[in-house]
Structure 1
Amino acid sequence: MLIFLWFLVMTAVLLLAQKMIYQRFALRKVSYSRRFSRNTCFRGEEMTLIEQLANRKWLPVPWVSAESQLSAHLRFRTGDNFAVSSGSHYQNHKSFFSLKPQSKITRTHWITPQRRGWYRLHTVSLTSGDLLDIGRSVKQLPLSSELIVYPRPADVDMGQLPQHSWQGDVTVRRFIVPDPFVIAGARPYQAGDSYKMVNWKATARAGSLQVHQYDYTADRRLLVYLNVDDGEGMWRSVSDVELIEYGIEWAAGAVNCAIAAGMEAGFSTNMPLEGETNSVTIEPSGGHEQLYMILEAMAKLRLERTEPFPMLLRRGAEEGYRDRDILIISSYWNDELEAEAQRLRLSGNAVAIWELRMKEGSSDKEREGQSA
């Protein structure tokens, strides 16, 4: 009997001792990092989230739980050693580790962003304990990785975009691409140029890649306007989120189509960027950098109205926009918007209107305005 009591006492002492040791030292010299494998991607493009946990001491750590909150729009592949509990806006991601002395574990999770956005990792909570989970220790660490998810550009045909050119006093309708039969010379290759445009003779002379410089009858600058209002009479909050998200992807498709053809393109909307309050306007310009500047702005848009859409259109006319190809994307059209579109036409701009009527998976129809 005495031996049994002595055994119980010693067991209790050992359990208490290991509890105190692990409560104090379990997370000592334990480092953790979590980051996205890339800083940018397109909606629906699979990528990875990488976790690294290191134990830089001689005491083994029986178990560690790393828990953080992520957007519900980041869909994880199913896998072992982690659990995801998801709500409508956020999800809790919990990973489980067991660390040997002086060891490091790297774990990769495959994720697919379901919506464009600006996703940031803020903090992670590490929880660890002793062998029997009698006592626990908790530590919170800051995270700094971010992921910018671009909208996936819709498939837009060049013939859908507004178009105009000037020949004296006569307005002639034509595609906004350069005339491939009128070559004015050569210029250095730029990102987005087709290899069909390469001028091999000029390339040989210059010693660097040169492309044909096509002649224009007018400067081609596309400005895409997007209305955040999902219906006439909307006050501030968007109720049909999917419809406006679809509109963002159509706007991205129009910009992508124009810049891929060597044109200048810009973007304007009555929505703010995350952390800001003003409407977004990016003046038309060309090239790869301009495209990704616009895509990044679209990724960071907050679905909230900054001002009535007619005011945004009116400001363009008042600022003297001329000789532009203007595309307006809106979920509705009324007399007030038509009056502002007409002001832009009278200033010498070509205007086309796309009405958002259907959600993703359907085919939207274009209702094109009269060219100025």
Structure 2
Amino acid sequence: MFILWLVLITAGVLYGQGLVFNKLVFRGLSYQREFRQRSCFRGDEVELVETLDNRKRLPVPWLRVESQLSAFLGFRASENFDVSRGELSQNHRSFFSLPGHTRITRTHRLTPIKRGCYRLSTVTLTGGDVLGMSQRHLQLPLNSELVVYPRPAAVPFHELPSRSLQGDYSIRRFIVPDPFVIAGARDYQAGDSMKQVNWKASARTGELMVHQYDYTADRCLMVIINVEDAEGMWRSVTNEALIEQGIEWAAGAAEAAAAQGMEVGLAANMPLMAEFGSLRFEPGRGQEHLYMLYEAMARLQLVRTEPLRDLLEQEARMGYANRDVLVISSYWNDELEAAAQSLRRLGNSVTLWELQDAQRARTRSGEGESA
């Protein structure tokens, strides 16, 4: 009889605790998951932080947290942490046990292996009683995003026309004298500032001489990326690695130009995420502008919006001059050369960095004569 009562009491306790935990497991419980950094470069290590707060007296015996993440986020192995990886996505699971009035913060380190925009959308919590006889599920929305910039490649920037490396270059038109570009010395004239005096030349000639400043145009590089991985491609990219290489070359060229104080612009026959038209940013300078270009490259979709020929012709119709135009493409033909000549006739230079499966670049360049 005693054993029967013991069994009944035990069954009642188990049933009762199951009811209690099943009803109250998510009460007073909050969960957050977010990337500690908003952005990084491909290959950088970043942190994903989970915070679980149990604000009630009743403990949470066990809690499983599950979410779907991109397979291009590589996690380190960790205690109470499990990842099931597929080709494009992975199932990320964390396990917790919380006493009453307890907050737990857990940090996971991961390395993005591909540029892009990675969003945390939803997470599923599963909790239950002590023995796991009953369980409940709760789905929560998340709002955190990690923007992964392409890693700027070490590019053959020296293959651009020499005027790009030197920055400002002399032109045969009147613009404004540049006080940083000295072409020689001349005789002092009424109205010249004493700051312009060339003391070495004055001592050598015995007469007052001043600096002769040259007339220059601002430094400017326009980078154009072609998404077509082969001549005759229609819309779908088959060699994604080749185009990703081109995007990293573009990032490297932009970084190298910006480091020399040049203005940098960007165009591509690809759309940004959730957009349809070709990407285009007018040239600008400074770190803020450079990182804006990095973010645009991170959000590029590998989808063709228009042929490269049309994009180059559109650039020529804009009528700008005195720019170094860098085209990064997997191929070149007579139609593209004709479009490039239109840009050169306006006084621009056009340089090709050709993408190849052998990871080498062949450069063809030409400069238009300045008007």
- Pick the TM interval, shorter chain: 0.7 to 0.9
CA distance in 1, matches of 2:234, 2:125: 43
Q: Alignment partner of 2:277: what SS? A: coil
Alignment check: 8 A CA contact 1:162 1:326 kept: no
Moved more, 4-13 or 28-37: 4-13
> Which residue of structure 1 aligns with residue 362 of structure 2?
366
> CA-to-partner distance for each residue in 1:171-198, whole Å, 9 max, x for gaps?
xxx734247xx97159xxxxxxxxxxxx
Structure 1 Cα separation of the partners of residues 246 and 11 of structure 2: 66
Displacement of 1:56: 0.5
Give the match for residue 292 of structure 2: 293
Aligned counterparts of 2:161 and 2:77: Cα–Cα separation in 1: 46
Aligned to 1:133: 132
CA displacement 1:84-117 (0-9 Å, x = unmatched): 1111111111000000100010001010010111
Tell me if 1:32 matches 2:22: no
Q: Amino acid of the residue matched to residue 112 of structure 1? A: T
- Give 2:345's aligned residue: 346
User: What does the per-residue CA deviation read over 1:136-168, in whole Å, with 9 as the maximum and x for residues that have no partner?
Assistant: 01111111111111111011354222454xxxx
Matching residue's letter, 1:365: A
Q: Which residue of 2 aligns with 1:184?
A: 179
User: What residue is the counterpart of 1:175 in the other structure?
Assistant: 165
List aligned pairs for 1:55-204, cutoff 5 A. Answer: 55-164=54-163, 175-178=165-168, 184=179
Q: 1:269 maps to which residue?
A: 268
SS of equivalent residue, structure 1 residue 118 = strand
8 Å Cα contact 1:162-1:327 kept in structure 2: no
Structure 1: which amino acid aligns with 2:263?
A: E
Which one has a bigger Cα radius of gyration?
A: 2
Q: Determine the C-alpha separation between the residues in 2 that align with 1:36 and 1:348.
A: 47
Partner amino acid for 1:368?
R
- Change beyond 3 A, Cα 1:8–1:151: same
Q: What are the ranges of 5 or more consecutive residues in structure 1 without an aligned counterpart?
A: 165-173, 187-200, 202-213
Cα distance, 1:223 vs. partner? 0.3
Q: What SS does the corresponding residue of 1:13 show, helix, strand or coil?
A: helix
Q: Give the equivalent residue in structure 1 for 2:234.
A: 235
Could you list the per-position Cα deviations for residues 270-298 of structure 1 after superposition, in whole angstroms to 9, with x for gaps in the alignment? 11111111110001111111100100000
Q: CA deviation at 1:339?
A: 1.3
TM-score by length of 1: 0.85
Q: Is the 8 A contact 1:352 1:369 kept in 2?
A: yes
- SS of aligned partner of 1:138: strand
Contact 1:57/1:101, CA 8 A, preserved across alignment: yes
Q: Distance in 1 between matches of 2:214 and 2:98?
A: 67
Query: Match of 1:210?
Result: none
Conserved? CA contact 2:48–2:110, under 8 Å: yes
Tell me how far apart the structure 2 counterparts of residues 275 and 49 of structure 1 sit (CA, whole Å). Answer: 25
**For 1:51-72, what per-residue CA distance to the aligned partner results, in whole angstroms no more than 9, with x for missing partners?**
1001000001111011111111
Secondary structure of 1:34 counterpart: strand
2:178/2:215 contact within 8 Å kept: no
Aligned equivalents of 1:243, 1:371: Cα separation in 2: 27
Q: Between the two proteins, what is the percent identity of the paired residues?
A: 52
Instruction: Give the superposition deviation at 1:6.
Output: 1.5
- After the TM superposition, which segments of 4 or more aligned residues of structure 1 sit over 6 Å from their partners? none
Distance 1:32 1:309 in 2: 48
Aligned mates of 1:118, 1:215 — CA distance in 2:
46
RMSD over aligned CA atoms reads 1.9
3-state SS of the aligned residue for 2:143? coil
SS at match of 1:217: strand
1:54 aligned onto 2:79: no
Q: What one-letter code is carried by the residue in structure 1 that aligns with 2:88? A: H
Output the CA distance in 1 between the equivalents of 2:7 and 2:344: 92
Aligned partners of 1:177 and 1:156: how far apart in 2? 18
Distance 1:49 1:141, change over 3 A: same
State the partner residue of 1:195: none
Specify the SS of the correspondent of 1:143: strand
Aligned residues: 331
